[in-house]
Amino acid sequence: MSLRHWFALIGVITVVGMAKVAQQTALCLKGYALGRQARAFHELENTTQRLAANVTALASPSELAQVMTKRKLSFVAWSELPASGRATQLAQVNRRTNDTP
């Protein structure tokens, strides 16, 4: 092989090596970008779940009663519905069927 062939071979190997390094670097950067997106998505999902739990807690009757007592408001229409016999029987049957393994 002549010197010209050796230089051409070394040049080709160098170009192929540089292309491989560039490709691996691009893949690593894409992986980091996907990781950032996944982290942002999970943070957003967690924040949404926490806010939904806060809204549910704020809308609960006990929380509303606490707010009313803190503001010294009187209960205007407070009534408890009596449990009917049929609903109580169904609840007991459901509880028994769910307790048995």
44 close to 38: Cβ distance less than 8 angstroms: no
Q: What's the one-letter identity of residue 36?
A: R
Angstrom distance (rounded) from CA 64 to CA 54: 13
User: What confidence score (pLDDT) does residue 64 get?
Assistant: 73
Angstrom distance (rounded) from CA 44 to CA 42: 5
Q: Is the pTM of this model over 0.75?
A: no
Mean predicted confidence (pLDDT) in 38-67: 83
Using alpha carbons, select from 61, 60, 63 the residue that is nearest to residue 79: 61
Angstrom distance (rounded) from CA 47 to CA 28: 28
Q: Is the pLDDT of residue 51 over 60?
A: yes
Q: What tokens were used for 66?
A: 């606490």
